[in-house]
Amino acid sequence: MIDLKSAEDLSRMRAACAAAARVLHDLSTLVVPGISTAGLDSAARGLMARHGCESACHGYVVGRLSYPGYVCISLNDEIVHGIGAADRIIRDGDLVSLDVVVRRDGFIGDNARTVMVGAVDPQARQLCLDTEKSLLAGIAAVKPGNRVGDISAAIQEALAPGGYGIVRDFVGHGVGRKMHEEPQIPNYGKAGTGPKLLPGMALAIEPMVNLGSHKIVMASDGWTARTADGKVSAHFEHTVLVTENGAEILTLV
């Protein structure tokens, strides 16, 4: 069931999303050569306290697994859900995907970006630019009366010239009191299909795009998803509200 947010809900959700955006912005500035991903995770915890929110990832349960980190930190060929570790050191040329999901006053704020560290390979840089551009294309398709498939198709169309692998195993989603709500929002699909967009819907739109194949493999930790061919991946995300006139991005700084 798709949850339409009330005016009171949206006031609280805007605050949660603003906090998530500030945490992601501040954390991104700390992504420099020499810092460990565990150091970034610890810094994220402190930033959440500073901005009056808490991690929605820490302790998130899937099956018998409980996520141990405070944010998801994924390097290079890691697509999503990477876990901070003391021996994972950021180096010049890395792609570092930060997925920050916070809870504040009962509501979720969710956003992500891939940070390019120093002198990044030109193909990897273009992947990041194109993935962010595809996110904006998807957001531009958010308006009352359109359908989820219009978002999916816009993202897919924006990425088509690059010949990238669009991840199929992880998709965008509704968001609100829970991290994952209906509807699911694939990053590929057919325009005019899927649930209709209505004012009050809050959507986490998040293209995850690989330089090579769309196929993934799971790491032994049970969380980290990697590209099957070892090529790099990029991830950008905003929480977006469907308004009477179009879209409002809730996770802008």
Length of the chain equals 253
SS3 state of residue 226: strand
What type of residue sits at position 117? V
- Residue-range definition of the domain harbouring residue 75: 7-249
Give the residues across from 113 on adjacent strands: 98
At 109 the pLDDT is 99
In a domain, 1, yes or no: no
In a domain, 219, yes or no: yes
| Structural domain count of the chain | 1
Which CATH number belongs to the domain containing residue 177 in this structure?
3.90.230.10
DSSP state at residue 97 = E
112 token code pair = 């992500």
Instruction: In whole angstroms, give the CA distance from residue 42 to residue 46.
Output: 7
In a domain, 146, yes or no: yes
In a domain, 245, yes or no: yes
Could you read off the pLDDT of 102-113 as tens digits, one per residue? 999 999 999 999
Could you read off the pLDDT of 128-155 as tens digits, one per residue? 999 999 999 999 999 999 999 999 999 9
Could you read off the pLDDT of 85-99 as tens digits, one per residue? 999 999 999 999 999
DSSP readout, 32-85?
-TT-BHHHHHHHHHHHHHHTT-EESSTT-EETTEE---SSEEEETTEEE-----
At 226 the pLDDT is 99
SS3 state of residue 227: strand
In a domain, 57, yes or no: yes
Give the residues across from 209 on adjacent strands: 166, 234
Query: For the CA atoms of the chain, what is the radius of gyration?
Result: 17
At 127 the pLDDT is 99
Could you read off the pLDDT of 205-247 as tens digits, one per residue? 999 999 999 999 999 999 999 999 999 999 999 999 999 999 9
234 token code pair = 């990029």
In a domain, 108, yes or no: yes
In a domain, 48, yes or no: yes
Q: How far is CA 65 from CA 58, 61, 92, 173, in A?
A: 11, 6, 32, 21
In a domain, 139, yes or no: yes
